[in-house]
Amino acid sequence: MKNIILVLFSLIITLISYSQETRKELRERSPNRLVLQLNGGVFSNYTYDIDPTSDEFINQKFRMSNVTYSGMLGYRSGFNSDKYKFSSTGRDKNWGNLFAVFYQNGMIDGVGLSDLDKKDMKIFITNLNQRVKFTELQIGVVWREFFRFSGGKGTVKVLETLEDYTDLDNVDYNVFTTGISLRFGRLTPSFNWTIMSNDSFETTMSRFDVQVGFNLYFWKKILHKDKHLISE
């Protein structure tokens, strides 16, 4: 009887050891925890969300000269699969939730602000020949690397030319963005709607943007729920 117990115990230990992996092996097949996304695209003219004269939504006008660049650094979590997916080249194909920091800048001229009332245009420019450079920093979340919601601060600076700044002070404003992202390999098209206000949202202005991004994944780390699989 004693021998049978010893044999069974040895068999259990052997099975457990085969089911476990070394720390290095498990890390290699674990999802990346950080993603860096670099984007570029175009955005619509600034306008109001709803036409004050008709209470209807205003059609956004896209102009190719309204160019924007943005970036995102996100921490990934919430993976719900026990079998993580990677391409044949090692590209991370997993979907997680993101806590992220977003940066965006762009340039818009008087034509792009022409849908605003004169009093709101003067927030940005003093004449139609000037350009506005905006910079925004937001913090937010992205559910399943698909649906984004973020908020933060923006600032605009009037430019006489691309290189020459005027002496006007920066104008700061609050900003919120929601949008969706798709993923085709490392390429990530995104569609975002942003609202802005510099008067505690008594008046809100908005814009849409369409961008294409490139994802870089790094920092593979063993998830807490997988640590029981480690065999030292």
Query: What CATH number does the domain containing 92 carry?
Result: 2.40.160.20
Q: What is the mean pLDDT of the chain?
A: 79
User: In this model, does residue 8 exceed pLDDT 70?
Assistant: no
Which three-class secondary structure state does DSSP give residue 128? coil
Domain count, the chain: 1
Q: What's the token pair of residue 38?
A: 């670099």
* CA terminus-to-terminus distance, the chain: 32
- In tens, the pLDDT along 89-141 reads 778 888 889 999 999 999 888 778 877 877 777 767 766 677 788 999 999 99
Global confidence as pTM: 0.79
Average pLDDT over residues 201-230: 79
**Measured distance CA(51)–CA(55) in Å, rounded:** 5
Q: pLDDT band at residue 34, thresholds of 50, 70 and 90?
A: very high
| Plot region of 174 (φ>0 → left; ψ -120 to 50 → alpha; else → beta) | beta
Domain extent for 95: 2-229
Higher pLDDT, 14 or 79: 79
232 vs 69, which has greater pLDDT? 69
| pLDDT for residue 224 | 54
Contact 40, 68 (CB under 8 A): yes
- For 22: left if phi > 0, alpha if psi spans -120 to 50, otherwise beta; the answer is beta
